[in-house]
Amino acid sequence: MQSQQSPRRGVWLKVLDSVERGILSLAARVVDRVESVVLGVELLKIIKKLRNALKSEFIRHLEGYGVNRVRVLSNLAFEWGNKNARIWVSDIGFTRYVTLMKLNRSNLIFE
């Protein structure tokens, strides 16, 4: 699926240089199983670049702002006596909510 999405979004050309595109294309055609540690490390770096480039703006905010903000809120609520606040950190729904509220608030300020 990622190989189909990359060219459609133009990510393949924008994110990867010609050497990285060549390594990935050649490895996909020639290698069934990567045995070289060096090649494996390089392929992982390339795939990570593609994966990060394919993330939506919301996911990038979720991973950056949302996770950190929920951690802060959880610690604060725990200090105030909420014993259940520690589990908020692992609640992806709450993290999505906090991120969405931040994005909506940001959009209202600039309109």
Task: Give the pLDDT confidence of 44-100 residue by residue, as tens digits.
Answer: 999 998 888 888 888 888 888 999 999 999 999 999 999 999 999 999 999 999 999
Domain ranges of the chain: 2-54, 58-110
pTM across the whole model: 0.57
Cα dist from 22 to 46, 49, 72, whole Å: 11, 15, 43
Burial of 30 (0-12, 13-18, 19+ CB in 10 A): exposed
Phi, psi angle pair for 91, to nearest 5°: -90, 100
Nearest to 88 by CA among 79, 77, 80: 77
How many residues are present in the chain? 111
